[in-house]
Amino acid sequence: MDHYFIYDKDQKVKLRTVSFSFDGTDINLETDTNTFSNKHLDDGTRILIKNLLETNLNGSFLDLGSGYGPIGLTLKLIYKDLDVTLSDINEHAVELCKINAKKLNLNVECITSDSYSNIHKSFDIVSLNSPISCGKEACYKMYRDTLEHLKNNGLFYLVIRKDKGALSHMKYLSSLFPSVRVIYKEKGYLVILANKNETNIKEQ
């Protein structure tokens, strides 16, 4: 696959369907050969969705680095009143988000954006499957931008592999957020929760 972050409209694609289930809800999403985890739901995304579904989600939610939309669209299917925005740097991935949202009859906003370059509002919750391949400094910029785009009591959920630098990323997050903690571990992945306002921390 050519570099994911560079969109090439001339790339040849092969459409396929990724199927998975959460909370008794079967979900089928269209994807293709030029999108991340295009044959099955990757472990990091699955683990992040699992943890998000164990919280009482409400308000506004940003699926940052959405790919073809498994996180944001799954949450919207289950939490009907959640205000969901999906964003990705890859224009083609965002088009797939729109196709999948229409197929599922979901009212969500899909934005092509390099980090928050085209996002001009704040959110109650942001989630990210950290894009390690784009480099540590790019990830750190996304963390800083996330802090700026969270509401006062906002929560940032991040999944990252321990062997891909999770602890150093967590240390950096701790320099930005008043509260950062690991809330779940599975298959070498850590789910990290950063809270913008430590006086409003609730145990999961």
Task: For residue 131, give the CATH number of its domain.
Answer: 3.40.50.150
In a domain, 30, yes or no: no
- Least confident range from 10-19, 20-29, 65-74: namely 10-19
| pLDDT score of 61 more than 50 | yes
- Domain count within the chain: 1
Domain carrying residue 117: 41-200
Distances (CA, A) of 188 to 46, 138, 165: 13, 22, 11
Summarised one tens digit per residue, pLDDT across range 75-120 is 999 999 999 999 999 998 999 999 999 999 999 999 999 999 999 9
Q: What stretch of H or E contains 169?
A: helix 166-174
Residue 33 confidence (pLDDT) above 70: no
Q: How far is CA 172 from CA 83, 93, 199, in A?
A: 29, 29, 20
Angle, alpha carbons 203-169-35 (nearest 5°) = 95
Question: Mean pLDDT across the chain, nearest whole number?
Answer: 89
Residue 1 lies in a domain: no
Residue 67 is encoded by which pair of tokens? 């790919």
Max mean pLDDT among 19-33, 76-90, 127-141 falls in: 76-90
Tokens representing residue 129 in the block: 């499957």
